[in-house]
Amino acid sequence: MAKIEALSEAEVTRAVEKLAGWSVREGKLHAEFKFDDFVAAFAFMTKVALTAQCEGHHPEWSNVYNQVRIDLVTHDAGDAISAKDVTLAGKINELRSAA
């Protein structure tokens, strides 16, 4: 299995500029989403879970009532942000837009 490369700081900065609602917090891609209620938040999480499984890349996340917090980092890249994180963040944004 090929080692996954971490993105450089400049690459992460460029990626975040293109990812609406995402920032870097504690070395991870971070976003917070708010929904009308718990059911809507959980439905979104279910869609993200299925997408993440297909991507073979899983988020660190939490849910409190209508809020979902997501952190993305690649453990196989030394707990750094990789292209896998950027790709999943983009897909998460697409799911949020469709919600």
Q: Which tokens hold the place of 32?
A: 């917070």
CA 99/CA 82 separation, integer angstroms = 26
pLDDT of residue 98: 84
pLDDT of residue 1: 53
Q: In this predicted model, what pLDDT tens digit does every residue of 50-96 receive, in sequence order? A: 999 999 999 999 999 999 999 999 999 989 999 999 999 999 999 99
Higher pLDDT, 32 or 77: 32
Of the candidates 98, 95, 32, 93, which has an alpha carbon nearest to the alpha carbon of residue 68? 32
DSSP 3-41: PPPBPPHHHHHHHHHHSTT-EEETTEEEEEEE-SSHHHH
Q: Is 69 exposed, middle or buried (0-12, 13-18, 19+ CB in 10 A)?
A: middle
DSSP 65: T
Average pLDDT over residues 21-50: 97
For the chain, the farthest-separated pair of C-alpha atoms sits apart, in whole angstroms, at 42
Band (2; pLDDT cuts 50, 70, 90):
low
pTM recorded for the entire structure: 0.94
